[in-house]
């Protein structure tokens, strides 16, 4: 049974030397470097617990130092090896529990103490070797090193409970079992009254239990690391999206301001000039009774009237005042009636029963999208009939514009200003679009989810 447990402990150490080494190379996490070093030193110590390996090592040392010196050297080396692997394990545990980040001052102090203790006990090992007094070294180990390490252990556990992540529970349970079983093994080896036949077996069992719970803690920590990585990634994506939305908002608001400015200039400037020209023509018509000029003046007056009407329509289309005055449905209806009258096309309108409660910004985006799509129909498709629909089923708004024309190449249109403007507005609202075009006509459908629209 003892041999079985020893073999199991050796197997676990070999496995975790490989695992910790691979993890360190892969993610460059410092804790796994120290865990690999701990496992290597612990493996050497476990091998020394086998009588055959111990005698083989002592015999090799005796070849160079002599039998008496070899006995002292091997005994002292065995205890100093424990100093080394316990130190490596302590540093690894501090890293694994994230105390290097959350209690930096404490972490740095403990590392300094562990380095100092390692150097001190190396010096004491050399000193007691030359004194040929391995029992003194064991006493120093028992009454100086162990109390120091137990103090660090207790304080670190308390720090970890307060500061470490959720993975600490698996790991701390395994560490506590390991420490308790190691102390039992040590006491059983040096206190004869305990009558323990093979106390080192407790140490082997502690190693196995610690390794199992470390594995659970590692799996949980990797999960936490992945969750944090995903959280940061989502924050970055959300931040980039917000930047894009802010940029689009600025562009679209700038476009609306420019539309409003142009509409005002058309209405107040060019329309006023045309009205003045018409008044002058009327004056000429009254002053000049020449029949030859009367037809020309009448034609010029009609052209000016038509131009004034077109400018007023362009001005109204550029401005979003119709949305403010008539609401989204009313503005779309007025626009479609004017287009139908101007281009001799039938436009069927289908709206939800009630006006949708939306911000002026979103209403403007939907109105501009319908404007662009209807303009594309009359300019490119040669359609006789078009359908404009706005359906609302909370939280979804479906906007569709269909026609029975000859269709048009969507890819080439997407490069134009019109559909580029539509795409910008769709991206701003986090909407989805479906484009279809064939010889039977074209169809554009935009799905807007009110829950996904950014704050405006």
- What residue ranges do the domains of the chain occupy? 1-240, 321-455
Q: What is the pLDDT of residue 128?
A: 93
Distance of alpha carbon 439 from alpha carbon 119, whole angstroms: 87
Is residue 234 left, alpha or beta, with left meaning phi > 0 and alpha meaning psi from -120 to 50? alpha
Show Cβ contacts of residue 72 under 8 Å, excluding neighbours closer than 6 positions.
129, 132, 133, 134
- In Å, what is the CA distance from 61 to each residue of 66, 67, 135, 329? 7, 8, 19, 97
Crossing angle for the helix pair 200-265 and 291-318, to the nearest 10 degrees: 160
pLDDT at position 116: 95
| Protein fold of 321-455 | Heat Shock Protein 90 (3.30.565)
Please tell me the predicted confidence (pLDDT) of residue 244.
66
Q: What is the pLDDT of residue 158?
A: 92
Question: What is the three-class DSSP state of 187?
Answer: helix
Cα gap 63→290, rounded to integer Å: 139
Closest CA to 350 of 336, 365, 364, 371: 336
Any idea how long the chain is? 456
Give me the pLDDT at residue 106, please. 93
Give yes or no for a contact between 13 and 49, defined as CB atoms under 8 angstroms apart.
no
State residue 417's pLDDT score: 46
**Whole-angstrom distance, CA of residue 397 vs CA of residue 366:** 10
Per-residue pLDDT of the chain (456 residues; tens, 9 = 90+): 456 666 666 676 667 666 666 666 666 677 778 888 888 888 888 777 777 777 788 788 778 888 888 888 888 988 999 999 899 989 988 988 888 888 999 999 999 999 999 999 999 999 999 998 989 999 999 999 999 999 999 999 999 999 888 888 888 898 898 889 888 888 888 777 777 777 777 877 887 788 788 778 877 877 877 887 888 877 777 777 666 666 666 665 666 666 665 655 555 556 566 666 666 666 666 656 666 566 666 666 666 666 666 666 665 555 566 777 788 888 888 888 888 888 888 999 998 877 788 888 888 888 888 888 888 888 777 888 999 999 988 888 999 999 988 766 555 554 454 567 788 788 878 888 888 877 778 888 999 888 887 765
pLDDT of residue 137: 92
pLDDT for 90 equals 92
Nearest-angstrom CA–CA distance, 334 and 317? 10
Q: What is the largest CA-CA distance in the chain?
A: 143
Q: What is the C-alpha to C-alpha distance for residues 16 and 82, in angstroms, rounded to an integer?
A: 18
User: Which fold does the domain 1-240 belong to in CATH?
Assistant: Rhopdopsin 7-helix transmembrane proteins (1.20.1070)
385-393 and 346-351 strand pairing: parallel
Its pTM stands at 0.56
DSSP 213-257: HHHHHHHHHHHHHHHHHHHHHHHHHHHHHHHHHHHHHHHHHHHHH
Give the pLDDT of residue 330: 87
């Amino acid at each position: 049974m003892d041999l079985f447990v020893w073999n199991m402990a050796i197997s676990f150490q070999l496995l975790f030397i490989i695992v910790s080494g691979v993890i360190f190379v892969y993610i460059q996490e410092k804790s796994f470097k120290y865990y690999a070093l701990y496992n290597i030193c612990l493996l050497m110590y476990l091998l020394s617990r086998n009588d055959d390996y111990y005698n083989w090592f002592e015999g090799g040392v005796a070849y160079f130092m002599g039998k008496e010196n070899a006995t002292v050297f091997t005994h002292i080396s065995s205890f100093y090896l424990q100093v080394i692997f316990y130190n490596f394990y302590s540093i690894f545990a501090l890293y694994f529990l994230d105390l290097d980040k959350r209690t930096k001052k404490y972490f740095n102090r403990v590392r300094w103490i562990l380095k100092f203790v390692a150097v001190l006990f190396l010096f004491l090992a050399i000193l007691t070797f030359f004194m040929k007094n391995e029992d003194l070294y064991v006493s120093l180990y028992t009454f100086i090193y162990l109390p120091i390490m137990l103090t660090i252990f207790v304080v670190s556990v308390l720090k970890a409970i307060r500061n470490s992540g959720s993975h600490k529970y698996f790991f701390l349970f395994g560490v506590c079992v390991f420490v308790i079983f190691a102390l039992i093994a040590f006491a059983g080896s040096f206190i004869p009254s305990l009558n323990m036949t093979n106390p080192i077996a407790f140490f082997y069992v502690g190693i196995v239990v610690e390794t199992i719970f470390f594995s659970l803690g590692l799996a949980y920590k990797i999960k936490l690391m992945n969750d944090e990585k995903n959280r940061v990634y989502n924050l970055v994506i959300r931040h980039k999206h917000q930047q894009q939305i802010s940029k689009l908002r600025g562009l679209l608001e700038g476009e609306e301001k420019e539309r409003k400015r142009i509409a005002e200039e058309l209405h107040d400037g060019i329309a006023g000039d045309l009205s003045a020209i018409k008044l002058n023509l009327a004056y000429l018509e009254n002053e000049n009774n020449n029949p030859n000029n009367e037809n020309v003046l009448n034609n010029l007056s009609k052209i000016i009237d038509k131009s004034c009407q077109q400018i007023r329509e362009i001005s109204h289309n550029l401005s979003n005042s119709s949305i403010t005055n008539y609401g989204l449905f009313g503005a779309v209806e007025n626009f479609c009636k004017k287009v139908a009258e101007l281009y001799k096309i039938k436009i069927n309108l289908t709206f939800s029963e009630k006006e949708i409660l939306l911000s002026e910004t979103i209403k403007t985006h939907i109105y501009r999208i319908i404007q662009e799509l209807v303009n594309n129909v009359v300019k490119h498709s040669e359609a006789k009939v078009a359908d404009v629909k706005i359906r609302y089923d909370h939280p979804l708004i479906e906007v569709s514009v269909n026609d029975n024309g000859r269709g048009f190449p969507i890819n080439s249109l997407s490069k134009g200003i019109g559909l580029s403007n539509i795409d910008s507005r769709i991206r701003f609202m986090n909407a989805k679009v479906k484009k279809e075009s064939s010889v039977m006509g074209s169809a554009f459908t935009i799905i807007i989810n009110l829950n996904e629209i950014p704050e405006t």
